Structure 1
């Protein structure tokens, strides 16, 4: 499944759900608050900016945001909310596309790094983030924790969400660390459903940390959500903040990375 074909005009038209789901105030508000804090008054770059779910309110908080986005239909929908002067967008792949200038913050939210389907591309994404950041800059990744403990031997699928009118089901290829998410949305009769599918490569937090080290980052913090809840073995997702080292005052050397978790 090609990502550009997945994120077509039809998908872009269904993406925004104002006030509910990922657009619910209790979901979106803490993310914007935390990202504004981490930007520390500087410029931010959002990989996979989409329709501007985060970029638009973050810009409203006074943080200049530039985006990278692969899908032209998603950008077209963003343009109904903010023009190019408000939120510039570079059309391209988040693993390779280059945005002009230097940033204090690069962020990649709502599991989107898993849209890169190889380990090499995910590593390249970390390196691309590092290229855009100045010394001491941060890269923030929001990602789900693979739920393999719910997958008994011999079973290839799990239902991860079920509510009236919707069923979310994942099928796993554990050899390649691939998962395909299936979204079944039923009509009012309950007899007919629309199916949307999206492929992902799942990543364990420890593997993500190694990718960060390869790009010159260290882990600054990890929490279970945007409000700062403790990350535990039972957490279903995490918000990880990676940081480039800052030059030691009076020297031109880069200090050794502290790879320990704070």
Structure 2
């Protein structure tokens, strides 16, 4: 399968039953306590006494511990297999989920917090769709509510002329490589998993990467204002060398 074939593959075919089964890694990776703990801490603080909406809720990695902290959580999720996996953990009364596109699907209720974690906005493959995602989040927020996004910052300085790929992670049994199309702000992530033999399994996903300044403009178009930007969920300082950011936008009390 070529890079172009991956780019043209529908999102609901990418996030299928196999992806749902691979997604959970209890206690490790993005499920590790040192990763998940600060995420839930900050989101619970920002939600206050209100309810939260998770765009692309997935299998409930963040929503379940946030709900356990006493924050009512509703989700939007495109992938039915992801929702099925979530339902193995909690029922619909505990965490309601509407199946649909996070850029357009609406759910009832007002929320003090909407959030979109772990690079998921890049699954929307056009600028127009990403702008609509901001607008959709804003529609769900009560006055003063916040929209939080976690996203990687890609260092294109790592790509000398003529080189399209960069390794973003390497460890025993796994290597991650991004292939970039800087002209169109596209990339395809390649995840290589190695066993004891000579063969490797590869999983690929397409993304449209977004720089912080472009996200801020998307927020303005949706009537939101930047409140804070951190390098991580522990509120580390965001600098020119930061490889990720957690950005907090708020809906003004009046607009």
- Give the alignment's TM-score, normalised by structure 1: 0.93
Give the whole-Å Cα distance in 1 for the aligned partners of 2:148 and 2:79. Answer: 22
Unaligned stretches of 5+ residues in structure 2? 1-8
Aligned to 1:107: 115
Which among 228, 232, 246 is matched to residue 239 of structure 1? Answer: 246
Aligned to 2:81: 73
| 1:212-223 aligned within 5 A | 212-223=219-230
Aligned to 2:69: 61
Indicate yes or no: 2:187 matched with 1:195.
no
| 1:141-220 aligned within 5 A | 141-189=149-197, 191-220=198-227
Unaligned stretches of 5+ residues in structure 1? 248-253, 255-262
Give the whole-Å Cα distance in 1 for the aligned partners of 2:37 and 2:11. Answer: 28
Give the whole-Å Cα distance in 2 for the aligned partners of 1:225 and 1:120. Answer: 27
Indicate yes or no: 2:147 matched with 1:129.
no
Give the whole-Å Cα distance in 2 for the aligned partners of 1:168 and 1:105. Answer: 32
Give the whole-Å Cα distance in 1 for the aligned partners of 2:127 and 2:160. Answer: 25
Question: Per-residue deviation at 1:109?
Answer: 0.2
Question: Per-residue deviation at 1:50?
Answer: 0.2
Deviations 1:10-43 (A, max 9, x none): 1101110000000000000000000000001100
Aligned to 2:5: none
Query: What's the RMSD between the two structures over aligned residues?
Result: 0.6
Question: Per-residue deviation at 1:175?
Answer: 1.1
Runs of 4+ residues deviating >6 angstroms = none
Give the whole-Å Cα distance in 1 for the aligned partners of 2:221 and 2:90. Answer: 35
- Give the alignment's TM-score, normalised by structure 2: 0.96
- Number of residue pairs aligned between Structure 1 and Structure 2: 247
Deviations 1:191-244 (A, max 9, x none): 111100000000000000000000001100000000000000000000000001
Deviations 1:119-158 (A, max 9, x none): 0000000000010011111000000002211111111111
Question: Per-residue deviation at 1:7?
Answer: 0.6
Which among 88, 91, 96 is matched to residue 104 of structure 2? Answer: 96
Deviations 1:170-191 (A, max 9, x none): 00111110000000000122x1
Question: Per-residue deviation at 1:2?
Answer: 1.4
Give the whole-Å Cα distance in 1 for the aligned partners of 2:185 and 2:212. Answer: 13
Aligned to 2:3: none
